């Protein structure tokens, strides 16, 4: 398990990390979320010793993180961390050797991932000859050549098309199912909601929400109603316990209290037209996120 315990880091007057405490558990995918500049990248770099904490600690399996442990970690930074003029397979071998693997071991692992991600025929190309999406795939392989126990990825889905995003999501799920600890950041909250069991939300260097996503959604006192209808838009202002989250032709999403009169909501919709569908739901991850960073 990866654990942050009261981690703090300042850059001049800016508190990039302000007493951060959270965990990423083995065999699970943890989504690490926050607005731009919230502290996500600083926290990830602290795992690898690229940022020295002012206070607090990062631990792995209950012990301080050392170079031995980091040789079993995989890291995919948001900014390209590879050599653009170096050939793809050559640099994968080099990076794997830095982690202490033998040439033959790294070669087999690299070739397996190149084949899996559709890059076997580009293995001898220079990195800068590849498209952005293929460079992103190579960067992922670079994080996997040491068969890591912990995988930390900073915006891994950036620039990928929908097919490539689905393939990477499946891959991360597979790695977690095999026992790896996976922590990744993303601004694509719909993807995080679909993929992650756990989420950690950071804002201005502080953890504002963390835990099992299902439990976090269930704990919110408000519920949401999605209504699709035919006809004129209902006058939701007549319902005191209803807040309109989104409204457009034929559809409305409403925030209601747990004890709200749902029959009155349906009646208001029927007063203007025909109700096509009605769904009573906990908040989405996007709604959780907005509530957490606005608090």
Query: pTM to 2 decimals?
Result: 0.88
> What pLDDT shows up at residue 52?
96
- 198 and 129 in one domain? yes
> What pLDDT shows up at residue 18?
97
Residues 1-18: tens digit of each pLDDT: 999 999 999 999 999 999
- 54 and 181 in one domain? yes
Residues 18-37: tens digit of each pLDDT: 999 999 999 999 999 999 99
Residues 93-139: tens digit of each pLDDT: 999 888 888 778 899 999 999 999 999 999 999 999 999 889 999 99
CATH number at residue 227: 3.30.70
**Predicted confidence band at 76 (pLDDT cuts at 50, 70, 90)?**
very high
Spatial separation of the C-alpha atoms in residues 86 and 83, rounded to whole Å: 5
DSSP H helical ranges for 99-206: 103-116, 132-144, 162-177, 189-195
- 280 and 162 in one domain? no
Q: Which helix (H) or strand (E) holds 214?
A: helix 213-219
Rounded to 5°, angle at Cα 209 from 204 and 212: 145
> What pLDDT shows up at residue 294?
85
Position of tokens 């790695």?
A: 175
Spatial separation of the C-alpha atoms in residues 118 and 160, rounded to whole Å: 14
**Predicted confidence band at 65 (pLDDT cuts at 50, 70, 90)?**
very high
User: Can you give the C-alpha Rg of the chain in angstroms?
Assistant: 23
Spatial separation of the C-alpha atoms in residues 99 and 261, rounded to whole Å: 60
- 168 and 110 in one domain? yes
- 266 and 189 in one domain? no
- 184 and 203 in one domain? yes
Q: Which of 217, 248, 263 marks a domain boundary?
A: 217
> What pLDDT shows up at residue 13?
94
Residues 154-205: tens digit of each pLDDT: 999 887 888 888 888 999 999 999 999 999 999 999 999 999 999 999 999 9
**Predicted confidence band at 73 (pLDDT cuts at 50, 70, 90)?**
very high
Spatial separation of the C-alpha atoms in residues 249 and 243, rounded to whole Å: 17
- 280 and 140 in one domain? no
- 196 and 228 in one domain? no
> What pLDDT shows up at residue 70?
92
- 147 and 163 in one domain? yes
Helices H / strands E in the chain, number of each: 10, 14
Q: Quick one: the chain helix, strand, coil %, rounded to 5?
A: 35, 35, 30
Task: Return the minimum-mean-pLDDT range out of 39-48, 52-61, 227-236.
Answer: 227-236
> What pLDDT shows up at residue 129?
96
Q: Which of 217, 245, 272 marks a domain boundary?
A: 217
- 47 and 168 in one domain? yes
Q: Which domain holds residue 179?
A: 2-217
Number of domains in the chain: 2
- 160 and 21 in one domain? yes
> What pLDDT shows up at residue 125?
97
- 235 and 182 in one domain? no
> What pLDDT shows up at residue 222?
83
Residues 218-269: tens digit of each pLDDT: 898 888 989 998 888 888 878 878 888 888 888 989 998 877 788 888 888 8
Spatial separation of the C-alpha atoms in residues 257 and 70, rounded to whole Å: 47
Check whether 150 has a pLDDT greater than 90.
yes
Q: Which one, of 171, 205, 163, lies nearest residue 51 by Cα?
A: 205
Q: Which of 190, 217, 244 marks a domain boundary?
A: 217
CATH number at residue 179: 3.40.50.300
Q: Which one, of 70, 27, 30, 61, lies nearest residue 192 by Cα?
A: 30
């Amino acid at each position: 398990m990866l654990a942050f315990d009261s981690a703090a880091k300042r850059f001049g007057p800016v508190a990039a990390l302000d007493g951060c405490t959270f965990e990423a558990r083995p065999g699970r995918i943890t989504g690490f979320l926050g607005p731009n500049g919230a502290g996500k990248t600083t926290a990830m770099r602290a795992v690898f010793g690229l940022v020295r904490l002012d206070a607090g600690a990062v631990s792995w399996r209950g012990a301080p993180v050392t170079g031995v442990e980091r040789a079993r970690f995989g890291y995919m930074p948001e900014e390209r961390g590879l050599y653009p003029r170096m050939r793809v397979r050559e640099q994968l071998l080099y990076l794997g050797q830095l982690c202490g693997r033998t040439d033959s071991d790294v070669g087999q692992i690299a070739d397996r991932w190149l084949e899996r991600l559709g890059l076997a025929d580009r293995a001898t190309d220079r990195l800068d000859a590849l498209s952005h999406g293929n460079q992103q795939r190579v960067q992922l392989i670079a994080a996997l050549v040491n068969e890591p126990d912990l995988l930390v990825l900073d915006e891994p889905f950036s620039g990928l098309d929908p097919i490539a995003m689905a393939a990477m999501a499946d891959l991360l799920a597979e790695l977690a199912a095999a026992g790896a600890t996976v922590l990744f950041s993303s601004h694509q909250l719909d993807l995080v909601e679909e993929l992650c069991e756990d989420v950690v939300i950071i804002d201005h260097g502080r953890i504002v929400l963390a835990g099992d996503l299902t439990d976090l959604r269930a704990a919110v006192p408000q519920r949401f109603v999605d209504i699709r209808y035919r006809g004129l838009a209902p006058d939701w202002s007549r319902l005191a316990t209803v807040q309109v989250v989104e409204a457009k032709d034929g559809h409305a999403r409403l925030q209601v209290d747990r004890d709200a009169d749902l029959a009155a909501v349906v009646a208001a919709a029927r007063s203007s037209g025909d109700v096509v569908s009605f769904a009573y739901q906990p908040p989405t991850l996007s709604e959780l996120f907005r509530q957490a960073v606005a608090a």
